[in-house]
Structure 1
Amino acid sequence: MNKYIQSYIDESVGIIQLNRPKVLNALNRKMVEEIVGQLEMFDRDPSVRVIVLRGSEQAFAAGADIDEMIEETPLTLELANPFAEWDKISLIKKPILAAVNGFALGGGFELALHCDLIIAADDARFGFPEVKLGVMPGAGGTQFLTKALGTKKALEWIWLGEQMSASVAFENGIINRIVARELVVEETMRLAHQLAKQPPISIRMIKEAVYTALDESLKEGKTLERKNFYLTFASEDQKEGMQAFSEKRPPSFKGV
């Protein structure tokens, strides 16, 4: 049984809801383990096609659990290797959507950035305040933000530790959509159900190809893209999609 999250399935969408409301969903190690474990379960579940990660109305996640870290030393951190758990998120093959209300700060911002798409409330706030605690982001924040903003803007935001509005995050390509706070979950679920109707194998192949573009050369990325393009022709969904197009009817994709 999970202690810090709740999870359920809505048709083909698996939902993970962060559930530490008294501390604005601050992330401790056990909570991260539960999130990652549930992501892996949904990734293996053939009835789930899309995953949604959401917080509460007050906060997606307002950072890491400082009480858990205050007595750490370099050696205890090295032995615990807490960020190895975070690395598993990049191995999830299915789309992950973040529904962000309120604060997404520190580890909460990093968790949102690990998701493929981010839908945020118009009053949501993002940022990395770690510098004000004498530390820095450690779960990929410097890397994700630099890839999104470029070196100079990333340095400014992370050095100052200031909070970024949803509109600034949207203008800089960090989040995908801004909606009224009362519509965040509704809009995220609408998009998730829309994606769930797409051919799952194509969705999987596209995700792999797009992320390869971030880290590999153009030549290597194009090679992988072509391999994945060819692989889609091994699926029944490819035959169904093209047949449906020829017959001028909506396709029905099965994920095989």
Structure 2
Amino acid sequence: MADTSADLLIHRNRLGEGVLEVTFNRPERRNAFTKAMYAEMRALWEATAADRSVRVVVLRGAGGKAFAAGNEISDFLEADAVDYENWIREMFDRLWSLPQVTIAAVDGVCVGGGLAVATHCDLRVATTASRFGYPIARTLGNALSGTVLYRCQAIFGESLTREMLLASRLVSAERAYAVGALLGVVPDAEALEAELRALVSGIVQASPVTIETTKRQLLSRARGLESSMPGEQDLLRSVYGGPDFAEGVRAFLAKEKPAFGG
């Protein structure tokens, strides 16, 4: 059974009984997220949280080149950028709070908003061609919210997080696996499918009580650590209202290299 919208494909039980599969379906844009996709995901997580027939949620990107390559930048021009980020962050929180096990299946580029989604999942598996990062210092001149930054640091560690953000480098799947950010690295899409089926098969046989209790415990501990720094909203508002972000958006839409001035 498949529920289909233009940019978000939802399959139920294709990978096994009790498995909800969500595919980001904008391969021509490397599956960059639109506001409509975020709204659909937000509603989907709210419905899924109450659906005990779902045991596992798998997220993946269409096209074989990207899990998701950030956000559709033009959407930031239609609203207050910080308010928009806060609204997106609420969707991340709903994903992270799901009682089901969530798995990001990455095949290709996983950056920006795509990496934020992946780091709000419980588990991640990727192909060797996959790359991870937040190259925003070279592209848009914006900044991450504290909670999104915390999730990256919690999953990839401080060293790789600093490399992603301060050096604007993408991290290979092998390096991500070496620090425990991935539970496995497989050679190609076919092997990724086999790994997913084996993984979800084991999860759906496990005790739902154990899984839900463990997730509640982990969530409680994480929330005690990931609170935003004092004054973060004002800081982010100054970033999004500043000249570098304006130049980053202009250059991105014009397909030019930005000339940041600080």
Q: TM-score, normalised by structure 1?
A: 0.76
Alpha-carbon distance in 2 for matches of 1:137, 1:185: 32
Task: Name the counterpart of 1:178.
Answer: 185
Unaligned runs of 5+ in 2: 226-262
Q: Distance in 1 between matches of 2:224 and 2:44?
A: 29
Find the aligned partners of 1:123 and 1:31 in 2 and give their Cα distance. 25
Cα pair distance change 1:172/1:135, threshold 3 Å: same
Partner of 1:104: helix, strand, or coil? strand
**2:94 — aligned with what?**
88
**Cα distance, 1:215–1:68 mapped onto 2, change above 3 Å:** closer
For these two proteins, the number of residue pairs brought into alignment is 214
Letter in structure 2 aligned against 1:39: W
Q: Which has the higher contact order (CA 8 A, sep 6+)?
A: 2
Report the more deviating stretch, 77-86 or 105-114: 77-86
Q: 1:139 to 1:55 in 2, by over 3 A?
A: farther
Tell me the distance in 2 between the aligned counterparts of 1:145 and 1:79: 21
Conserved? CA contact 1:7–1:14, under 8 Å: yes
Report the aligned-residue RMSD: 2.1
Where does residue 43 of structure 2 map in the other structure?
37
State the 1:216 CA deviation: 4.4
Distance verdict in 2 for CA 1:138–1:23, change over 3 Å: farther
Residue in 1 that maps onto 2:228? none
One of 14, 23, 26 as aligned partner of 2:20? 14
Call closer, same or farther: CA 1:153–1:20 in 2, change over 3 Å. Answer: closer
Q: Whose radius of gyration is greater, 1 or 2? A: 1
Tell me the distance in 1 between the aligned counterparts of 2:34 and 2:50.
25
Corresponding residue number in structure 2 for 1:201: 209
1:144 aligns with 2:151: yes
Aligned pair in 2 of structure 1 residues 15, 186: CA closer, same or farther (>3 Å)?
A: same
SS in 2 for 1:82: helix
Residues in 2 aligned to 1:139 and 1:52: alpha-carbon distance in whole angstroms:
25
SS of aligned partner of 2:100? coil
Identity of aligned residues (%): 28
Unmatched tracts of structure 1, length 5 or more: 218-256
Cα distance in structure 1, aligned partners of 2:119 and 2:157: 15
Quote how far apart the aligned CAs of 1:135 are: 1.1
Structure 1 residue 124: Cα displacement: 0.5
Output the CA distance in 1 between the equivalents of 2:20 and 2:156: 30
